[in-house]
Amino acid sequence: MMRILINHSAVSQIQGRAPDRSAEEFHKRLPDYFRTPLIHLKKLAQKYGVGEIYLKDESHRLGLPAFKVLGASWAIWRTLTDVFGIELSTWNNLEQLRAQIKLLKPLKLVAATDGNHGRAVARMGRILGLAAHIFMPAGTVEARIKAIESEGAEVTVIEGGYDEAVAYAAEEQNDNTFLIQDTSWRGYEQVTRWVIEGYSTMLWEIEDASLEKGIREPDLVIVQIGVGALAAAVTAHYKRKRGNNPRIIGVEPANAACAMAAMKAGKVVSLTGMQDSIMAGLNCGTLADAAWPIIRQGIDCFLAIDDEWSRRAVRELYNEGIMTSESGAAGLAGLMAMLSEPEGENCRKYLNMNRDTSALLILTEGVTDPKGFRLIVDL
């Protein structure tokens, strides 16, 4: 099952500061930095009848199994520069940076998460010598809780869902405790803007790898939507450039389709009921305020898919030797659904898709729930 919403008012160029490489400059100084692979999925492109499929593989990013640390680390760094005036030019290695941070008051980072973002905040806390307190929604799988505790952070699992966890984390803020959240609301937008900027590193890496390997610009970029920060980063990157910009497709779970709901309402709205898709990172009921204007102007088509499509995509990738989660595979799941289901035809026509179309996907995480993974691929 799939629902489609075409955004007839999407434009090919949106306004705003052109993407720059400052986040990338910072990320290159962190431990375990390397350019993540851009994988050519030739067989899958043939199977589904498109020209090319490329997959940016974020299953190993700065020592963690997901892309999210790019946003969390940049937002933490920008908070430190903003509040305390620390600059890149004042340190050459992390020991020097830690020494500067130690001179400040005891500082703490706080965040809510259903997995990756919280672990990324906790990891950065450990790297920089800062305490971290992470709030998680009820029902979070044990493996994700343990992963965050293993970074030395305090974890509190609350009774409610993700949005309530965010409210708990926000309560903790004070002069020494900084909320590093990948979603935003009125009055809390700047940090989320930095999170969005932080994701730009992976997009520059795609450009660099494409240039080196002679890969042409994609015609379509398909991106997962949770709170929309990743989709905003992708859209801002591709649609603030001059030239022939790709069309963008956003994919979200059928029961957590908060971007589709916002498009229909013409404003950010909160979904009611439970968002309980197996695509854990995409289980969000409210789009980030900071992401909304970019998404509204720049995403051409929204797909809301059911969990079965994401299971199929996990299996397709496993057959290609690629291990990922239900959220990580959701971009491919959306593409498969659009190319296979009759309802996809309107969207395929609108996007001028044909056998030459080149699609870019992001594998946003590796296997973060090994038990769930084994069940899907039947190991």
For tokens 């970019």, name the residue.
Answer: 294
Interface with ligand PLP, residue 228, by CB under 6 A: yes
Interface with ligand PLP, residue 224, by CB under 6 A: yes
Asked if residues 257 and 302 have their Cβ atoms less than 8 Å apart, the reply is yes
Could you tell me which residues come within 8 angstroms of residue 15 by beta carbon, excluding any fewer than 6 positions away? 240
Interface with ligand PLP, residue 295, by CB under 6 A: no
Interface with ligand PLP, residue 285, by CB under 6 A: no
Judged by CB under 6 A, the stretch of 166-174, 205-213, 228-236, 343-351 that binds ligand PLP is 228-236
Fill in the amino acid letter for 98. R
Fill in the amino acid letter for 97. L
Judged by CB under 6 A, the stretch of 40-48, 133-141, 226-234, 353-361 that binds ligand PLP is 226-234
Interface with ligand PLP, residue 230, by CB under 6 A: yes
Asked if residues 163 and 144 have their Cβ atoms less than 8 Å apart, the reply is no
Binding pattern for the stretch 63-82 against ligand PLP, x by CB under 6 A and - elsewhere: ---x-x--------------
* Crossing angle between the packed helical segments 94-102 and 116-128, to the nearest 10 degrees: 80
Interface with ligand PLP, residue 231, by CB under 6 A: yes
Residue by residue, what is the 3-state secondary structure of 150-186?
A: CCCCEEEECCCCHHHHHHHHHHCCECCEEECCCCCEC
Judged by CB under 6 A, the stretch of 36-44, 127-135, 225-233, 315-323 that binds ligand PLP is 225-233
Instruction: Please identify which residue in 218, 226, 246, 344 interacts with ligand PLP, judged by CB under 6 A.
Output: 226
Q: Which is nearer to ligand PLP, 65 or 353 (CB)?
A: 65
The C-alpha atoms of residue 261 and residue 268 are separated, in whole angstroms, by 8
Fill in the amino acid letter for 170. A
In the complex, which residues of this chain contact ligand PLP (CB under 6 A)? 66, 68, 116-117, 182, 224-231, 281-282, 327-328, 364-365
